[in-house]
Chain A
Amino acid sequence: MNAEVEVVVTGVGAVTCHGVGAGELWRAMTAAGTRLPDRPADPLALMDLPLINLVPDLDLPGLDLTSERATRFASLAAAEALADAGLDAGALDAVRSAVVLGSCMGEPGVNERGRGGARWEPPFRLASALADELGLFGTAVDVANACAAGAYALGVAMDLVRAGEADVVIAGGSDAYSRVALGCFNRLGAVDPERCRPFESDRAGTVFAEGAGVLVVESAAHARARGALDLGDGRVLSLGGVGWSCDGDHPTAPREDGEQIVRAMRRALGEPPYDVGCVVPHGTGTRLNDVLESRLLRRVLGAGTDGRAGRVPLYSLKALLGHAGGASAALGVVAGALILRHGVVPGNVPVKEQDPECEVWLPEGAVPLGVRRVLVNAYGFGGNNASVVLAAEAGGSSFVGGSDA
């Protein structure tokens, strides 16, 4: 392991409830419109609130609830990310390229009644499907860390590059509609009947979403050797750090003291001062989590998140997309990349009345990005915490090696 190895993100791809492509995601971010959830055409979804933000099938022939949706989302996002990185899949060094994909559910439809076959099949096969499609011979790992899976996948990718085991890792997360997951969230009373409304006073839970976020994670040396760093257009970003921690406590509720969440954030941020220009929070809309994350952001970043002091804006992505489970963190990092590339934090989806216990700054209008570093948080059942820091000026003098070692 060589902590001096700078790891960069050279390409991003996204599939969301707003359509296919990071361009569509950015358009939705800048429009900041409200999207009401869908009701999947699943007659067996017997629950009070069968609500989820589905990926629209307008441009995706054959995409129904019996198709392998998560696999397809990952494939589409990966193709976009590779093109964005200027990498032709056929020209990749197949032996030095790997795939790491996170997911909460894998490909759940194959094992749900009326959607898959009669026999149970291992649902976590997204990485092998993508690696086969791309013809890669590096490792292909399926990470199943619930709603933090995408961030864990990025950490695994970073470690692979730093260890010299891969030059390029196609990494991220993908998740699709699962009847069981939605049923369980209904049973736990964690679904908002209106839409996903993080940090609002009367929020009542989250709303799931489908989607995939995929990034091309690469050693800076490899990116430099192929000329990707020479363009000087700020498209290549530095993967500054990925922090992990585990509450080791309640299966669904975060530890009240938040110590492990703070530790993951600090590890991703590296040495103080913890300056960031934007936070893409986990912010799901569940009551306890939003309050706790707000409090812990203030603890780590100082009072600046509430608009009174350092004014660190939050971009509340799930208000726009819903909660895309194991893809949500990867989509958060893709959104962070777009914010860094454009140098602006788009206005948030308007909040009717912000919870006074959530002392964070959610600007409704676009604000210029100050410090060119974005912090992305992700938390999952099982107390699985992760934070990711993405920064501009990849390959430049700003890289501080060892921040994640």
Chain B
Amino acid sequence: MREIAVTGVGVVSPWGDEPAAAAAYGGLPAGGGEWFDHRVRLGARGYKYLPAAAQYVLAAARAAVAGGAWADAVPADRRGLLLATNAGLAGVYDAMDATVAERGADGLSPALAPYFAANVLGNRLAAELSLHGFALTVATARTAALDALSTGASALAAGRCGALLLAAAEEPVPAPRGGGGEQGAVVLALEPLTAARARGAAVHTTLRARSVFLPPGALARPEGRERAARVLDRVLEELVPGARLHEGASAVAGEGPGVSGDTGQVPGGPVSSVLGVHLDLDTSPVSEAVAGALAGVRTRVGAEQDELPPRRIGCLGPALALAHAVTVRDGGQRLVVSATGAGQVAFVRVSPVQDRLTQELQHAEVA
């Protein structure tokens, strides 16, 4: 059970909550001013003392499960939460460190004190939607949201839950600590395709995720690079069988920033070989190896190189790219790829699904 159906998407971003617009900014924080009012987005009372990232993730989750069908699909004990964050609480943590170091621990806010632990960022969400199956927090730098999908697929397969929310949330790093980072949240409502169809949910896309590691130390040696290439080839063959180019053919190149909806044709290949690729890479040897492997994959839109933000702190950029890929619905497959110099490499294939209800409707029209 590695293929997961997406039944809801929620995005909260300073650049708007429409996935394409938000993804175009790649998680870039707001330049200034108040863009998120918790009283308007969440309710008049009870949210003031939540850290900002916890507020974003609540609002995104409500959007992802709007209508209540996802929550009603399985009992509370079968609902799981995958939380992904890197710097979602960095500002809170830094402020608490300043308080302890300058005034003493007595000056800490008791309401914020539990947030020294990153996973508490998802506590209110788990409470509000009764996510009692489990709450697993993945904090791997940059790839956390995509890695969490692989872990979530295993958890579904292991029977730990019947439905999942993937929630990624970030908040900028304070300026005195270097600034940068990302801002906003993405939540995807997920469940097995058969389960979603059984309850009559509209399913437009499924996801299949795979994360691997390329040890930077090994990439310094030719045999390490060769092994990395074999690992990446195997992953690509598993995710997009048939998409590898035959030797001597050339890939469609391109590095246009932003989001493309081009639907050009691919010569001579099955549907599975059609790919739009979102690349979230840096300048490391790890990313170089990933780019090399993807150069051999047929793409019908230029690989989208994520160039925002300049300092890649946070896991939101890849999560936004995923939210966008899920909602494009142009009939094509997409691949969201993220890699870091530390060695993390994550792939998520986004595949269109012709919903059974849509199929039945089309058949009825033909009849």
Q: What count of chain B residues pass the 8 Å CB interface test?
A: 81
Residues of B within 8 A of A127 (CB): 140
Alpha-carbon distance A132/B218, docked complex (angstroms): 8
Task: Answer whether residue A334 sits at the interface, using C-beta atoms and an 8 A cutoff.
Answer: no
A132–B217 touching, CB < 8 Å? yes
Task: Answer whether residue B137 sits at the interface, using C-beta atoms and an 8 A cutoff.
Answer: yes
Q: Which of A33-41, A105-113, A275-283, A303-311 contacts B (4 or more CB under 8 A)?
A: A105-113
B93–A245 touching, CB < 8 Å? no
Task: Answer whether residue B113 sits at the interface, using C-beta atoms and an 8 A cutoff.
Answer: yes
Residues of B within 8 A of A99 (CB): 213
Alpha-carbon distance A137/B345, docked complex (angstroms): 10
Task: Answer whether residue B101 sits at the interface, using C-beta atoms and an 8 A cutoff.
Answer: yes
Residues of A within 8 A of B93 (CB): 111, 180
B105–A137 touching, CB < 8 Å? no
Task: Answer whether residue B17 sits at the interface, using C-beta atoms and an 8 A cutoff.
Answer: no
B217–A146 touching, CB < 8 Å? no
Residues of A within 8 A of B106 (CB): 47-48, 186-187
Contacts A128-B140, A143-B137, A184-B108 given; indicate if A112 touches B97 (C-beta within 8 A): yes
**CB proximity of A402 to chain B, nearest CB, Å:** 9
Q: Which of B31-39, B172-180, B241-249, B302-310 contacts A (4 or more CB under 8 A)?
A: B172-180
Alpha-carbon distance A165/B213, docked complex (angstroms): 13
Q: Which of A118-126, A196-204, A232-240 contacts B (4 or more CB under 8 A)?
A: A118-126
B150–A95 touching, CB < 8 Å? no
B90–A46 touching, CB < 8 Å? no
Task: Answer whether residue B236 sits at the interface, using C-beta atoms and an 8 A cutoff.
Answer: no
Q: Which of A22-30, A346-354, A377-385 contacts B (4 or more CB under 8 A)?
A: A377-385
Task: Answer whether residue A135 sits at the interface, using C-beta atoms and an 8 A cutoff.
Answer: yes
Q: Residue of A at shortest CB range from B346?
A: A139
**CB proximity of B68 to chain A, nearest CB, Å:** 17
**CB proximity of B317 to chain A, nearest CB, Å:** 14
**CB proximity of A117 to chain B, nearest CB, Å:** 9
Residues of A within 8 A of B213 (CB): 98-99, 128, 131-132, 136-140
Alpha-carbon distance A117/B77, docked complex (angstroms): 43
Contacts A246-B135, A248-B76 given; indicate if A46 touches B100 (C-beta within 8 A): yes
Residues of B within 8 A of A382 (CB): 114, 117, 119-120, 122-123, 126, 135
Residues of B within 8 A of A135 (CB): 215, 217-218, 224
Contact partner, A159, options B108, B124, B132, B155, Cβ 8 Å: B155
A180–B217 touching, CB < 8 Å? no
B113–A188 touching, CB < 8 Å? yes
Contact partner, A132, options B155, B173, B343, Cβ 8 Å: B343
Task: Answer whether residue A251 sits at the interface, using C-beta atoms and an 8 A cutoff.
Answer: yes
Alpha-carbon distance A244/B137, docked complex (angstroms): 13
- Size category, A interface: 35 or more
**CB proximity of B197 to chain A, nearest CB, Å:** 20
As a 0/1 sequence over residues 298 to 316 of chain A, the CB contacts with chain B under 8 angstroms (1 = contact) are 0000000000000000000
A156–B343 touching, CB < 8 Å? no
Contact partner, A120, options B118, B136, B178, Cβ 8 Å: B178
Q: Which of B3-11, B156-164, B275-283, B322-330 contacts A (4 or more CB under 8 A)?
A: B156-164
Residues of A within 8 A of B230 (CB): 95
Task: Answer whether residue B44 sits at the interface, using C-beta atoms and an 8 A cutoff.
Answer: no
Residues of A within 8 A of B100 (CB): 44-47, 179-180, 183
B342–A128 touching, CB < 8 Å? yes
A142–B123 touching, CB < 8 Å? no
Contacts A95-B231, A160-B154 given; indicate if A245 touches B133 (C-beta within 8 A): yes
Which residues of B123-148 are within 8 A (CB) of A?
123-124, 126-127, 129-142, 144, 147
Contacts A118-B177, A183-B108 given; indicate if A178 touches B116 (C-beta within 8 A): yes
Contacts A119-B178, A144-B139, A145-B136 given; indicate if A1 touches B217 (C-beta within 8 A): no
**CB proximity of A17 to chain B, nearest CB, Å:** 21
Task: Answer whether residue B66 sits at the interface, using C-beta atoms and an 8 A cutoff.
Answer: no
Residues of A within 8 A of B215 (CB): 94, 131-132, 134-137
Contacts A99-B213, A178-B116 given; indicate if A120 touches B132 (C-beta within 8 A): no
A124–B86 touching, CB < 8 Å? yes
Contacts A144-B118, A179-B97 given; indicate if A106 touches B139 (C-beta within 8 A): yes
Alpha-carbon distance A68/B93, docked complex (angstroms): 18
A380–B116 touching, CB < 8 Å? no
Q: Residue of B at shortest CB range from A127?
A: B140
Contacts A187-B105, A188-B114 given; indicate if A128 touches B211 (C-beta within 8 A): no
A184–B1 touching, CB < 8 Å? no
Contact partner, A246, options B96, B133, B138, Cβ 8 Å: B133
Alpha-carbon distance A112/B97, docked complex (angstroms): 6
B90–A246 touching, CB < 8 Å? no
Residues of A within 8 A of B120 (CB): 146, 251, 381-382
**CB proximity of B17 to chain A, nearest CB, Å:** 25
Task: Answer whether residue B363 sits at the interface, using C-beta atoms and an 8 A cutoff.
Answer: no
Residues of B within 8 A of A113 (CB): 97-98, 101
Task: Answer whether residue B104 sits at the interface, using C-beta atoms and an 8 A cutoff.
Answer: yes
Residues of B within 8 A of A47 (CB): 100, 104-106
**CB proximity of B152 to chain A, nearest CB, Å:** 10
Contact partner, B87, options A120, A147, A156, A404, Cβ 8 Å: A120
Task: Answer whether residue B103 sits at the interface, using C-beta atoms and an 8 A cutoff.
Answer: yes
Q: Residue of A at shortest CB range from B106?
A: A187
**CB proximity of B117 to chain A, nearest CB, Å:** 4
Residues of A within 8 A of B118 (CB): 124, 144, 146
**CB proximity of A235 to chain B, nearest CB, Å:** 26
Task: Answer whether residue B260 sits at the interface, using C-beta atoms and an 8 A cutoff.
Answer: no
- The interface of chain B, by Cβ under 8 A from chain A, is 1, 76-77, 81, 86-87, 90, 93-94, 96-106, 108, 110, 113-114, 116-120, 122-124, 126-127, 129-142, 144, 147, 150-151, 154-155, 157-160, 173-174, 177-178, 181, 211-218, 224, 227-228, 230-231, 313, 340, 342-344
20 A-B interface contacts by CB (under 8 A): A1-B154, A44-B100, A46-B103, A46-B104, A111-B97, A132-B342, A137-B215, A137-B227, A140-B213, A144-B118, A146-B119, A160-B154, A183-B100, A184-B113, A188-B113, A248-B76, A248-B129, A383-B123, A384-B119, A405-B158
Supplied contacts A124-B139, A128-B342, A163-B154, 11 more A-B pairs, CB within 8 Å: A125-B141, A128-B340, A137-B231, A143-B139, A184-B113, A245-B77, A245-B133, A246-B134, A248-B126, A381-B120, A382-B114
Which are the 3 A-B pairs with shortest beta-carbon distances?
A: A1-B157, A119-B178, A124-B139
